[in-house]
Each structure stands twice: as C-alpha cells, then as structure tokens.
Amino acid sequence: MRHLLLSACLILCACVVEAQTRLSIKGRAVDTTSTALPFTTVMLLTPKDSALVSYARADENGRFELKNARRGTYLLKMSYTGYLPFQTEVTPADGAVTDLGDLKMKPISKELFEVVVKTAKAPLNIRGDTIEYNASSFKVPPGSTVEDLLRRLPGFQVEQDGSIRAQGQEVKRVTVDGKNFFGGDPKTATKNLNADAIDKVQVYTSKTEQSKATGIDDGKKEKTVNLALKEEFKKGGFGKIKAGVGTDKRVDVRGNYNKFDDKQQFAVVGFGNNINQSGMSWDDRQDFYGSSLFRWDETDFGFGGGITSSDGGGDGIIVQGGNIIIMNGGGGDRGFNNTYSGGVNYNFETKKRKFTSNYYFNQRRNWTNQIINRQSILADNAFETDSRSNEYTQNDNHKVQLRYEDNLDSLNTLIVLANGTINNSSYSQDLSQENRRSASQLTNRTTQDNGNSAQTLSLSGSALYRRKFKTKGKSFAASVSYVLNNGDSDAEQRSLNEFFSTSTGLPLTPLQLNLQNVNRNRQNQIRSSLSYVQPLSKRVYWESFYNIGVRNDKVDRDVFNRLEGNVRTDSLSRYYTNQIMHNRLGSGLRYNYKGTNISAGFSAINMNISGKFSSDQNSPNVMEVNRNYTIVVPGVSFNMDLKNNRYLYAEYAGNVQQPSIRDLQPIIDYSNPLYITQGNPDLKPTVNHEAYAGYQYFNPSSFTRFFGNINYNYAVNQVVYNQTIDTLLVTRTRPANVSGGQRFGTYLNVGFPLKKNKANISFNTSINFSRNYTLINDIENRTNNNNYNWGTNLELTPSEKFTFYGNANWSYSDVKYSINTTQNQNIWNQTYSGQMNVKLPWESYFNATFDYRIYKNDRFGLDQNIPILNLAVYKLLGKAKKSEVRLSAYDLFRKNLGITQGASGNYFTQTRVETITRYFMLSYTYNMRGVKANMRRNGGF
Amino acid sequence: MKKKLLGLFFGFMALSLASQAQDLEGTVTYERNTSYTKMVAKLPFLSQEEKDRAKMMWGNEEGDKQKMKLTFTPDQSLYTYIGEQGETDDGRWSWRQSDYVIQRNFEKGTVTELQEMAGKTYIIQDSLKTPKWKVLNQLKDIAGHICMKAETEDPTNNQKIVAWFADDIPVSTGPERMYGLPGVILELDYNDGVTVVTATKIEMKKVDAKELALPKMKGKKINMAEHDRIIKAHIKDSMEARRNPYWGISLWN
C-alpha cells in the first residue's frame, strides 16, 4: 500500500514537471497593413536543421496557438499564398504561454509571383528577406545568348553596354557553375554563352572578393548572378583508342570518339586489323549510332507472316558447283582478313524533330584456303567430293544512311528515309575438285581458275506517314518506298574437266572451258503500304492492312567463249525481263486485358510473275513465263503476362516465299560442266507454317530462372533441288515443289545459384527433329536428322580477385537416309570452354580463355580435337585508370582450324579453313572515361 | 494600393478554400516517372563509360511512366494505380501491373500495403511512422497550388526524398509512403530526379467509403521491419550480381 502511494506521488510529480516543460506559443498572422491573414500555416522547426517539430493552422482571424511544445529555441515559419514565407527565431519566455503578437508577412511582388512561380513554374528560393530564383523555363529563340535570356527575367535590366542590374542593383559578378568566368567580367559570360546551355539563373548577394580574400567582413555586399549549366552540357563526350602490335605482323588499331548533349550526338569510329575482327562490337555500335540505333521503321505493315523472296540483289552472286557464293559480306572471319573501317555519325534530336545521318566505309581483303569433303548419298551407293580452293576477295563498301522524323503535331508524324550503298568487289579462285565413287575410284576431276569483278549500286528511299486520332487506339499509316539495285559484273571462268571411265578407269575426252561472263542487272521496285486500326471496344481492336508492290528486273548476260575466238555463246547467254507484282490484304482482331494480348487474323496474298527470256535482246525466240498465285494464310499470336515475372507466349503464322527468278527460268545452264542446273517454270510459292510456344520465369530474389519453348515448322510446296547423277558423277539439278518437310524443336534452360552471388549453375537442352525430301535419280529420299544437345554453364565469382566462367556442350546428331541406310551417320560435337580472371597486385590482371572442341563422325572416320588457349596480362595505369597495357597470347598451342560439319539434304559436308594461329600481341589502350577491368560480367542493368 | 488589392485577392482565395475546408477530402492524380538514365548513373558497379553510353542512348527517352491516384479524407487515404492494366499509349498492348496498394488509417495509426517485391507478393501491416521532415525555403507551383519544399531520407534504400506540399489543402497526407506535412504532398522526388511523382489533377469532392477500401489481397503477411530487411537484402544481392535492383521491386522508389 505504501508502495502504491509512493508511486502515485511520483507519477503526479512527474506530471507536474512535464507540464512545466511544455508550453504554448501564440501569435497572429497579419500582412504589412496589419490585416489578418486567415488560416495561415504555422510550423515549428528546430533552428539547427529545419526539422519539423509541429504545425498548426491559424483561425479566420489569423490567430494561432502551437500547444504542447517542449521548452527550447525554435524557428517559427508561416506560409500564406502570395506572401513571402515568414520566419523568425523564437526563444520562449518563462511561463506556460509565449505570445508573439502580430507577425507581419510581406507579399511577393506580383510580377515575380505571376511570371516566375505561375507561368515558368520555376522554384523560388527564399533567403531571409530576399529572393533568389532559378529560371529554366523562360523561352528564348534558339541561338540566343544569356544576355537575351536575362532581358526576359523579371527584375532584370540589361543596359545598352551590356551591364546588368538585378533587383535594382548592378551585378558585379557572373559565375558559371559557381566559378568565375573568364576573369569575372560579367559581360563576357552573358554575351558569349548560349542560353540553351543554361539550366538555372540564380541571383544572390555575396560578400565582396576583397572580404573573401582577407577574411575580414567589410560589410559590403555585391549582387552576383550564377549560371548553372545544364547537366548535359557538362559532359564533353567519351572515347578510346587502342593500338596493338604482334608477332607474325599482327596489327590491331581502333579508336572512337563521341560527343553529345541533349540535342546532338556526334561520333567517329575507325579501325584496322589483320586479326579477323571485321565488325563492330555491340558497345561500339551503340557508341557509333547513338540513340538512332534503335529506330527501326517498318515500311511494310502487316502481321501473321509476310512474303519473302529468295532472290538476292541478282548481283555479285555466282553459282559454282551448286554452292552459292555471295560476294558481299560473305566469308565472315574465315581465313585471313585485313580489315579497314571507319565512319561518321551525326544525330540531332528534339521532341519534335529527329535527324540521323551517317557514312560508313568498310574494306575487307580475305584470303581463304579451304578443303571441303562432301559425301553425297545415292540410292545404291555414295560418292565423295574433295575440293581444295584458294580464294582471294577484296570488298570495298560505302554506305550512307539518312533519316528524318518530323512530329508535325501531336497526332501526325512524317518519317523520310534514304539509304545508299556502293560496293566494289573482286574475287579470284583456284579450285581443284575430285569426285570419287565409294571405292575411292576417281570419276571426274575439275581444275578451275575463276575471277570476278563486280560493282553494285543500291539506293532506296521511303516516306512514312502516321496519323493518330483523338479516339484512343484509332490510327492510320501509309508508306511508299522505292528501291533501285544496279549491278555489273565481269567474270572469267576457266576450267579443265576430266572424266574417267567407270569400267576401265581410263580417261575419257576432257572438256575445257574458257568463258567470259558479262552481267548487267537492273532492278527497281515500288512498294506501298496502308494500315488502319479501329477500336471496337475498350479491349478489342480491328486491324487491317494492304500492301502492293511492283518489281521490275532486267538482266543481260553475255557469255563469250575465249577458246573459240571470243564468240558469244548463245546457249549460255541470256536476256530476260520480268515483273513481279504482289498484293496483300489482311485483317484481324486484337484483344488485350491486364497483360493478356491475343491477336488473330488472315491475310490473302496475290502474286503475279511475268517474265520474258531469250538468249539475246534481239533474239526472235522469246520464252514467256506467266504465273499467278493466290494464297490465304492465317496468323495467331498469344502473350500472357503472369504474376511474379512469368510469361507465356505462343504464335502461329504462315509465311509465303516466292520462287526465285533463276529457278523459274526454263533454261539449262551448262557453265559448270560438272553441275548442270535447269529451271522449272511450274514452281509454286512455298508456304511455311510456323508455330512456337514458350514460357519464361525469373525470380529476382533467388536469381532462379527457367525458360522453355517448342517450335514446329511444316513446309507446303517447299522448293527442293532434285538431282540426277550420271555415271560420270555429273550432277543435274532441277527445282521442284515438295510438301511434307518438317522440323520440330524444343529448348529448355534452368539456372539457379549454388551459393548466391558466389556460384551459379545452369543447364540447357535442346532437341530438334527434322525431315526433308528430295528426289535422287528419280527416287524419293527422306533425310531424318535427329539432333540432341545438352549444355551446362558454371559461374564462379567467389571474390573480387578471382572469377571463373565455364561451359560445356555436347551435341549428337543421328542422320538417316531412306534411300541408302548404309550411309546413316552419327555426328558428335563437344565443346568445353572456360574463362578465368585473376586480380594481381599493382592494378594488374590476368585473363585466360580455353576452348576445347571435339568433332567426331564414324562414317568419315573423323576424330578431331582442337584445344585453343588464349592468355592475357594487363595493367591499368594512372590514378584515374585511363590507360591499359596488355600482353596477350592467342592460340598458344597453334591448333586453330576453322572446321565445320553438317548434314542436309542427301549430303554431309565437312569444311576446314586455314586460319590465324598463334601470335603474341602487346597493346595499349587509352579510354577517356577510364578502363574497366572485366573481372565480373554485368547481370543486366 | 496594388499590394493591398493583391492581398485582398489572395485573401479571397484562401477564404474560398477555407470554406471548402469542411470536407477536406478528394482525389489527387499523379504521374509517376522513372528516368532510366538517372537510375543507371547511380549504379556503383558500372564504369563511367557505361553510364555515359546509357545517357547518350537513352537520355532523351521518356521515362517509365505510371498514372497513380491518391484518395484521401482527413482520417484515411488509399494510393494505387489508375486503371487496372498497364498499356501502350495507343492501348493496343497491355501488361499486368504489379500489385501495389498503400492504405493508411490516421485515426488508428495503421498502414496496410500490398506490394510485389523480389518475386513475391507481400501484405505489409504495421503502425504508421511519420517521416522526419525538414522544411526548406523554396516555393513552387504544382497543378495550380503553391507548394513548399520539405526533405527527408529513406535509410532502407539510402535515398534522398524531396516533397512539395500544398499548405492550402491542409490534410497531412501524400502519395506512396510520404505524409506528415501541414498540407497534401503534390510532388515527390527520389534521389535527384530518378523517380518523380507529380500531381496533375486535384479534385476536392466527397469520397465514398468504397474508394478507400482495400482490394482482395493474397500474399505473405509481414511488418515494416521485415519489408526493410527484404529490400536491403535484395539491393545488396543485386548489386553484387551486377544487376539493377530496380527490376525486382515495383514500384521501385
């Protein structure tokens, strides 16, 4: 009981003490004429850091009371629309209530309030009694100077001589980002700086330079204007340069520089090397094209599969032994390459207008020595083709791209595109090829010496107009394009073709050819496209499109026989003109709701091909091919956005491919005596029915991921090349339509951390089954190719000093030929690769990549192991780590062999290309923005 | 004289607002914009070159935009998306919006949040904790209201938050997790413009109790301390994995 009493007393005492420390602060908000300001907001802040302690609201007479405040010094702040926030320090007097009496608030000048706060939406800074303001939204014409900008700011006067007065006082100093500008004469900055570059104009009163220097406050204050630059203008740009020299005369030089601000982007890039690096990396491409890289303009509107053409430009393509060798760009990194490239890009971008222009030059010289072994399967036997060739290609390419986009207003957009390419190439080849029966009996042999030089010019221009309507989702678009492709080539074909009797093995009469082949191709095309979308309800849209295109080709091929006094050979020469006209009309419905997007529609395609063929322009014997096809194909797509990063999607479309002109010509081409081709005017377009479905999932917390998909393709009227092979192993081919070729595939990938951020593992598998048909010597052959792949990836990132990335892939193919099961093959490919990064002392790093490939094929008796090891040590230099010195070793074991193998149709091919092997290189890199040591890979940002 | 007239004008404005003050309830529509470039610029694992490249590529692109709505009375508030799906401007493509609702009851001092983060949906229930505000000396006009600047810090994901509040709407509420100022918060700025939430429309009108009700919710129930732990762990893991943590939390702020 006593205890209870005591505690009650204590509580009571505590309450009394508490009551004494708490107090009320009272006052009245009035304006300068002592008129009450009703409902003024009153806040109590701590003077140290302006932290909000409590707040209240005045009554209709402007009276307020802040109750229950702890005793202490406060900052009392009042706010009332149209008035300068009032601020005063309050130290409460003794007693429970402190009355501050009338607190007078000053109105903000109307001009400042209306112009700065209301119109420009610029924040006002209040500092005691004075105001600084940031003005970023005062519109001045482009090219205006800061002086023009200041003229527009309320409270500023700019005199005839350029001197500035702010709030009545002369401005003594103008600083840029707080720093003196060119010695501090205010006029230099304001007259020279572009208003575009300015984000904020801040006016404040500061101590004089003298008092700053001496540290003695002389009491004098001067007006200073600070010009805060836009962030974008602060960044000059970025760039890097790299130079490396190595053994075997290996050289690698590259450099790029970028400059950009919020409106313009400028980039130059250049590189030259003989280490088979012919393209730009993804980062290089971004640096070069800048924001224009992702501006793709679809000028042919439509959905659910389109029309593709298997005709190349008709230029630079030469057919040799059934292999199509594409002169432009072909070759990749095979063999030995010397590459020189360079370009300039300029982008200009505002919300309303976007302009992009670039020029890019690329020269590549390629030397390829290759051995091709090919096994062709026939009904009763098989034969082998062994060829060796030395090729040299030089390709010079100039490319210009222009794009202009004008958002005429909020509803209308116009885009104009223009591209031009000039390509000059020359090619020479020494080829020797032998065809052997299965018993290794030589049946024929060809020795060729070929050469070609070609010039092509491609120009294209498009205009695209898009219109939106006030009704959401309603839209209209129209486009028109013109494409011109001109190609001229002059080819030399010299060959000695020898044949050997199948019974005796003795040589038969050889066939010698020495031809000059002069080609002139002219192609032009006009296309136009319309699209219209009409919303039917909030979730359903009706979409329609129409495409029309007319393509005209004119090809003049003159073949001269050098062996017979350069006489024109009519049987090989050709003149043809043809016109392909296509119309495509489609219509469908689209539905979307909460991430479920479904669309379904049909498109009808009509194609009209009409061609005239003769051996010469003046020849009276003109053959005509006229074909008209109409095909209707459906298209369906389904996408679903599920909870927690899960997505489900499926699509089906019918794609139509028109037969190539070459395949339609009913003419026999004897220019390669071992491989004679013939066209088929009855070819129908191919329709590929393609379907796929997939699911993906990623857990951003556990980093577990899964994705899987299945795909299926069924071909109707696929164009296949039926072969007739005679006893001398001369192949004659003729294209025909076959239905039933199909492909089924599936892919799965699962990844998860073994230990989060230290070790990740993933597994993938894909299974592909395909079936293809051809006629071999009038017997139908079905090739079944069953391909199984497994792979695993391991990422070890135990520390900042050591990382390892490894993967292993196994692939097994089982190829079966229905006409000759003894030729069935099993192909094994295995790859093991790893990358290791180690951080050494003194900003040095070590990097090793190892790549081990195993190729096996029972029938060929092939068992090839290729281990490739690359090593590098590099050191970052300087405080800012802007330079790097690197010593690298490439293919340390000298094992690099460009090897590929694959089966298709009725043959299996294995190619080996001689390519770059071991070299050492010492290189130096300078990067304006610093070199980053690549210890760990980025995981997506 | 001019000054006096002006004073009178503002006085009337304040009075007319005050007369509405009997029913201080309504809705505020916000536009929430996240700048990818500014976000990337803050990722510690990227080099300066990578940041500059992102700025050049995407600097002129509009950010990731969402339309949000705050429904409030002096005692309660509910903040969530406007519309039931995310969609392109033309409405032809839609996507699912992550679960995101914040409901506050000032009378009871409680908060209930529905949020998807790090691959899971959570129901976060806790008592209200007012952010510690500093009130600063700046004025700005947002959607026709003069706002004052205030600042706070969010220790969970280490960011600076600037709020602009309108003291002519004297309800101590605001969007997202922010409230506790003498007026409605009309703009929020996270980390110098990475995410900016700006009011576009303010409607003072009677609010139906239904508009403040929580939707049907499914998720793991946690409190704010657990929420903070999950966010912190997610940010740490993502940074270590060289991933942008933004891709795992929505809405990210």
Q: Nearest-CA neighbor of B226 among B156, B173, B169, B162?
A: B156
CA angle A322, A327, A333 (to 5 degrees): 100
A267-to-A236, A256, B188 alpha-carbon distances in Å: 12, 7, 37
Cβ contact (<8 Å) for B11 and A472? no
| Residue A543 CB burial class (10 angstroms; 0-12, 13-18, ≥19) | buried
Cβ contact (<8 Å) for B138 and A123? yes
Q: ω before A4 within 30° of 0 (cis)?
A: no
Residue with tokens 């996507």: B95
Tell me if chain A has a CB within 8 Å of the CB of B42: no
Q: How far apart are CA B100 and CA B83, in angstroms?
A: 12
Identify the pLDDT of residue A799: 86
ipTM: 0.82
CA angle A121, A127, A128 (to 5 degrees): 130
Identify the pLDDT of residue B3: 44
Interface test with B, best of A48, A52, A590, A876 (most B CBs within 10 A): A52
Q: Nearest-CA neighbor of A599 among A610, A615, A587?
A: A587
Q: Are A837 and A823 in contact (CB under 8 A)?
A: no
Q: How far apart are CA A746 and CA A813, in angstroms?
A: 15
Contact list in A for residue B182 (CB cut-off 8 A) is 41, 43, 55, 57, 79
Q: How far apart are CA B133 and CA B127, in angstroms?
A: 18
Counted across chains A and B, CB pairs separated by less than 8 A come out at 232
Tell me if chain A has a CB within 8 Å of the CB of B107: no
Structure tokens at A393: 């290609």
In A406-456, where does DSSP find H-type helix? none
Higher pLDDT, A840 or A328: A840
Contact list in B for residue A349 (CB cut-off 8 A) is 60
Identify the pLDDT of residue A580: 87
B225 secondary structure, DSSP code: H
Q: Nearest-CA neighbor of A115 among A127, A89, A133?
A: A133
Identify the pLDDT of residue A156: 78
Q: How far apart are CA A67 and CA A42, in angstroms?
A: 12
Q: How far apart are CA A124 and CA A331, in angstroms?
A: 64
Q: Are A849 and A870 in contact (CB under 8 A)?
A: yes
Task: Give the containing element (helix H, strand E) for A147.
Answer: helix A146-152
Contact list in B for residue A232 (CB cut-off 8 A) is 59
Q: What is the mean pLDDT of residues A649-662?
A: 86
Q: Least CA distance to A295: which residue of chain B? A: B57
List A74's β-bridge partners, or say none. Answer: A90
Structure tokens at A415: 């885009």
Residue A478 gets the label, from left (phi > 0), alpha (psi -120 to 50) or beta, of beta
pLDDT by residue (tens digit) across B132-160?
999 988 888 888 888 889 999 988 777 89
Q: What is the mean pLDDT of residues A100-124?
A: 72
Q: What is the mean pLDDT of residues A554-577?
A: 87
Residue A78 scores a pLDDT above 80: yes
Residue A768 Cα, gap to closest chain B Cα (Å): 32
Closest CB from A594, A703, A936 relative to B94: A594
Q: How far apart are CA A461 and CA A372, in angstroms?
A: 42
Q: Least CA distance to B166: which residue of chain A? A: A81
Across all residues in chain A, what is the average pLDDT?
Answer: 83
Structure tokens at A330: 């072909």
Contact list in A for residue B241 (CB cut-off 8 A) is 703, 757, 939
Q: Are B26 and B74 in contact (CB under 8 A)?
A: no
Closest CB from A77, A590, A940 relative to B244: A940
Tell me if chain B has a CB within 8 Å of the CB of A234: no
Q: Are A369 and A331 in contact (CB under 8 A)?
A: no
Residue A418 scores a pLDDT above 90: yes
Q: Least CA distance to A266: which residue of chain B? A: B56
* Cα A871 versus chain centre, distance: 30
* Cα A782 versus chain centre, distance: 39
Q: What is the mean pLDDT of residues A243-259?
A: 92
Contact list in A for residue B87 (CB cut-off 8 A) is 592
A370-to-A172, A320, A386, A436 alpha-carbon distances in Å: 78, 15, 11, 19
Residue A4 scores a pLDDT above 50: no
Tell me if chain A has a CB within 8 Å of the CB of B192: no
Q: Are A941 and B239 in contact (CB under 8 A)?
A: no
Tell me if chain B has a CB within 8 Å of the CB of A941: yes
Q: How far apart are CA A580 and CA A309, in angstroms?
A: 11
* Cα A122 versus chain centre, distance: 38
Q: Are A476 and A433 in contact (CB under 8 A)?
A: no
Pairing of strands A221-229, A169-176: parallel
pLDDT by residue (tens digit) across A294-330?
777 888 888 755 566 554 433 223 333 322 233 333 3
Q: Least CA distance to B122: which residue of chain A? A: A644
Sign of CA dihedral A16, A21, A22, A27: positive
In A625-677, where does DSSP find H-type helix? 661-664
Identify the pLDDT of residue A220: 62
In chain B, where does DSSP find H-type helix? 2-20, 36-40, 48-58, 224-240
Q: How far apart are CA A453 and CA A488, in angstroms?
A: 8
Cβ contact (<8 Å) for A107 and B3? yes
Q: How far apart are CA A39 and CA A52, in angstroms?
A: 19
Structure tokens at A105: 């608030």
Cβ atoms within 10 Å, residue A408: 12
Tell me if chain B has a CB within 8 Å of the CB of A756: yes
Structure tokens at A828: 């094994």
A145 secondary structure, DSSP code: B
How many domains would you assign to chain B?
Answer: 1
In the three-class reduction of DSSP (H, G, I as helix; E, B as strand; rest coil), residue A158 is classed as: strand
List of residues 6+ apart from A533 with CB closer than 8 A: A473, A474, A475, A476, A541, A542, A543, A544, B90, B92
Can you give the three-state secondary structure of A839-851, one letter per residue?
EECCCEEEEEEEE
Highest mean pLDDT: which range of A656-665, A805-814, B39-48, B87-96? A805-814
Closest CB from B84, B94, B242 relative to A597: B94
Q: What is the mean pLDDT of residues A422-430?
A: 93
pLDDT band at A477 (very low <50, low <70, confident <90, very high): very high
Domains and CATH numbers, chain A: 20-105 (2.60.40.10), 110-234 (2.170.130.10)
In A275-426, where does DSSP find H-type helix? 282-289
Cβ contact (<8 Å) for B3 and A927? no
Sign of CA dihedral B7, B9, B13, B15: positive
Residue B98 Cα, gap to closest chain A Cα (Å): 8
Q: Are A387 and A371 in contact (CB under 8 A)?
A: yes
User: Taking a contact as any Cβ pair under 8 Å apart, which residues of chain A between 544 and 563 contact chain B?
Assistant: none
Q: Nearest-CA neighbor of A252 among A339, A326, A329?
A: A339
Q: How far apart are CA A755 and CA A798, in angstroms?
A: 9
Tell me if chain B has a CB within 8 Å of the CB of A264: no
A476-to-A531, A532, A535, A555 alpha-carbon distances in Å: 6, 5, 12, 38
Residue A223 scores a pLDDT above 90: no
Domain that holds residue B209: 2-250
Identify the pLDDT of residue B151: 93
Tell me if chain B has a CB within 8 Å of the CB of A272: no
Contact list in A for residue B230 (CB cut-off 8 A) is 701
List of residues 6+ apart from A666 with CB closer than 8 A: A613, A623, A625, A678, A679, A680, A681
pLDDT band at A332 (very low <50, low <70, confident <90, very high): very low
Contact list in A for residue B139 (CB cut-off 8 A) is 85, 117, 123-124, 126
Tell me if chain A has a CB within 8 Å of the CB of B12: no
**What residue ranges of chain B have pLDDT lower than 50?**
1-21
Q: What is the mean pLDDT of residues A867-871?
A: 91
Q: What is the CA radius of gyration of chain A?
A: 39
Q: Least CA distance to A284: which residue of chain B? A: B53
* Cα A381 versus chain centre, distance: 48
pLDDT by residue (tens digit) across B89-127?
888 888 888 889 999 999 999 999 999 888 889 999 999
| Residue B205 CB burial class (10 angstroms; 0-12, 13-18, ≥19) | exposed
A412-to-A405, A481, A497, A852, B89 alpha-carbon distances in Å: 11, 19, 65, 56, 14
Q: How far apart are CA A203 and CA A195, in angstroms?
A: 16
Q: How far apart are CA B17 and CA B23, in angstroms?
A: 11
Residue A15 scores a pLDDT above 60: no
Sign of CA dihedral A873, A875, A881, A883: negative
Q: Nearest-CA neighbor of B173 among B98, B74, B85, B87?
A: B74
A286 secondary structure, DSSP code: H
